[in-house]
């Protein structure tokens, strides 16, 4: 049982690490257009993201997929930028519900990219033989899922407060937060080590 908590906590810390805030930024961008009324949809999106993340770790840990670190470190902020831009262009439009299949597919793909970004570190944590990697991977995924749900819950609470107490419209909240995220992510893309090689 203690081994479960080790990998579960590593998953929690992976998402909630203050120095690696890209994961939280993506979750904010993903959750900002939604409210508590959409809890099933946002929970499904978070789970799809976790599945993509776990799939990438699985493929990497078993040596099926390998990708250069500097490429992934560029792609991660690009996924955040795309999500925030999508929010800007669809804020306040009813087509959000109709495009949910596309959003699920893109979220899964972005989860794969984010998972690849963590794969080298996760491989060093695991060590051991291939047979002993599947259970820790699932325990780690549960930690990630729990942390992501916590982040999304905080975003939904903030969204509720801003929209009810401060009378922001849902559209304005989405536009402001997405613009903020774009402002944070653009320097990450520009300053990426990818451009130095």
pLDDT at 185 over 60: yes
Q: pLDDT at position 99, please?
A: 61
State the Cα torsion 42-45-46-47 to the nearest 10°.
120
- Residue entry with tokens 């930028």: 81
Alpha helix locations (H) across the chain?
Answer: 2-16, 22-31, 39-61, 69-90, 95-98, 100-126, 134-164, 170-190
pTM for the structure as a whole = 0.92
Q: Cβ(60)–Cβ(2) under 8 Å?
A: no
Q: How many domains does the chain have?
A: 1
Least confident of 72-76, 174-178, 185-189, 192-196: 192-196
Domain that holds residue 137: 3-195
**Positive or negative: CA dihedral 127, 129, 130, 131:** negative
């Amino acid at each position: 049982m203690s081994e479960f908590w080790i990998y579960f906590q590593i998953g929690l810390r992976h998402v909630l690490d203050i120095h690696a805030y890209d994961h939280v930024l993506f979750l904010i961008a993903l959750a900002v257009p939604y409210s508590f009324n959409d809890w099933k949809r946002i929970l499904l999106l978070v789970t799809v993201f976790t599945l993509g993340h776990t799939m990438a770790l699985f493929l990497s840990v078993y040596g099926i997929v390998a990708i250069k670190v500097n490429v992934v470190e560029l792609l991660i902020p690009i996924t955040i930028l795309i999500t925030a831009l999508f929010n800007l262009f669809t804020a306040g439009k009813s087509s959000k519900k109709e495009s949910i299949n596309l959003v699920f597919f893109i979220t899964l793909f972005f989860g794969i990219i984010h998972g690849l970004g963590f794969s080298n570190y996760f491989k060093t944590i695991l060590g051991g033989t291939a047979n002993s990697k599947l259970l820790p991977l699932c325990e780690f995924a549960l930690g990630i899922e729990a942390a992501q749900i916590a982040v999304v819950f905080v975003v939904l609470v903030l969204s509720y407060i801003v929209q009810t107490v401060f009378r922001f419209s849902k559209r304005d909240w989405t536009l402001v937060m997405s613009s903020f995220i774009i402002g944070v992510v653009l320097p990450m893309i520009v300053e990426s080590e990818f451009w130095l090689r």
